[in-house]
Amino acid sequence: MAAAAAFTRALTADELSSDALAPETLAFALGALDEHGVVVLRKLIAPADAVAERARFEAAWATVAAAMAPLAPMWEGHLQDVVPRFAEVAPRGPRRYSISTFRSAAMRQNALVVQLMGASPMAQGGASGCWSEETVVSLPGATEQRVHVDAGHLYDPKQHGVLPAYHYSVFISLVDQDSTTGNTAFALGTHRSRGGGHESQPHWDMPGRDEFVDAYLKAGDSVIFDSRLYHFGRANSGTEMRPIYGLMYSPAGE
Ligand SMILES: O=C(O)CCC(=O)C(=O)O
């Protein structure tokens, strides 16, 4: 099994100042997305900016948490396919929520992500766009999330073959992650080798927990993955919340 280094790349100062990925970084990222289903780009945004975004996120979260408090027991522990999302908040597993009220034009319009998404097979040389901006927060005490895909195969790959990627998930961490805060773990290559999402869950051919590789992000690092890739969030056994700002890209965004 490949280690995280196989899909991790540090962006250069030139790339950050020019807001453009160098051809070799673009090739690395597209290659990792194709082979492993995931790429980590370090310092996509400056760590200081991530800290500032985190403070803004915490204010947004406090408002949502107060509003949802009476309903929280109903949702607690579920994923949103079990109970519906409600307005701006969706349950993502035990003590883990996704909210859409936190917005960041700077992160949403990140030129390096836009460039990579535009060059991906999803865009097919045409349009790609971001259609969703949400932040998943694992609160202290969050336990391991259920293994899932963000957008499954459109058709059973066993019958129709593996189609090109049509949907990507982009996470930017707003905190330094470690084994205490938790992180996201990915089953490499399962965007091509498994059938996640095309039918009901018993047909997904779920990978075992020993097939997952941990990606640890520092504040400002990003992880971008084919949304068919199996993944899950690790437990947060610390005392601080762990927010990951997330974007969803599809061929025809807004
Ligand atoms: O919490 C994480 O690290 C991952 C969250 C996630 O994958 C999700 O909620 O879809």
Torsion of CA 202, 204, 209, 213, to 10 degrees: -170
pLDDT in the model for residue 199: 60
* Cβ–ligand 1 contact at 233 (below 6 Å): yes
Q: Is the CB of 91 under 6 A from ligand 1?
A: no
Band (52; pLDDT cuts 50, 70, 90): very high
> Candidates 38, 95, 98, 136: which one to mutate for ligand 1, based on the most atoms within 8 Å of Cβ?
136
What is the Å distance from ligand 1's center to 156 Cα?
24
pLDDT of residue 73: 80
Query: Which pLDDT score, from 0 to 100, does residue 81 have?
Result: 63
How many Å apart are CA 220 and CA 218, to the nearest integer? 6
- Whose Cα sits closest to atom 8 in ligand 1? 92
Q: How confident is the model at residue 1 (pLDDT cuts 50, 70, 90)?
A: confident
What is the DSSP secondary structure assignment for residue 167, as one 8-state letter? -
In this structure, are residues 88 and 133 in contact, taking their beta carbons and an 8 Å threshold?
Answer: no
For tokens 């895909």, name the residue: 149
Atom 1 of ligand 1, nearest CA residue: 233
Q: Residue 136 pairs with which residues in a beta bridge?
A: 98, 244
CB 242 less than 6 A from any atom of ligand 1: no
Whole-number Å distance between alpha carbons of 157 and 147 = 19
Give the per-residue pLDDT at 87. 65
Which residues make beta-bridge pairs with 224? Answer: 39, 170
How far is ligand 1, taken at its centre, from the CA of residue 96, in Å?
8
- Residue whose CB lies within 8 A of the most ligand 1 atoms, among 137, 175, 216, 231, for a mutation test: 231
CA count, 13 A, side-chain hemisphere, 109: 3
C-beta of 184 in contact with ligand 1 (< 6 A): yes
pLDDT of 50 strictly over 70: yes
- Give residue-wise pLDDT tens across range 87-130: 688 888 889 999 999 999 999 999 999 999 999 999 887 778 99
User: What are the pLDDT digits (tens) for 158-171?
Assistant: 888 889 999 999 99
**What are the structural domains, with CATH classification, of the chain?**
4-168+185-250 (2.60.120.620)
* pLDDT tens per residue, range 11-47: 999 999 999 999 999 999 999 999 999 999 999 999 9
Mean pLDDT of 204-229: 95
pLDDT value at residue 201: 64
For ligand 1, what atom is nearest to the CA of residue 231? Answer: 7
pTM (2 d.p.):
0.94
Question: Is the pLDDT score of 65 beyond 60?
Answer: yes
Quickly state the pLDDT bin for 197 (edges 50, 70, 90). confident
Which residue has the least CA distance to atom 7 on ligand 1?
232
Q: Whose CA is nearest to atom 9 of ligand 1?
A: 92
Give the per-residue pLDDT at 82.
Answer: 62
Please tell me the distance from the alpha carbon of residue 33 to that of residue 13, in angstroms, as a whole number.
23
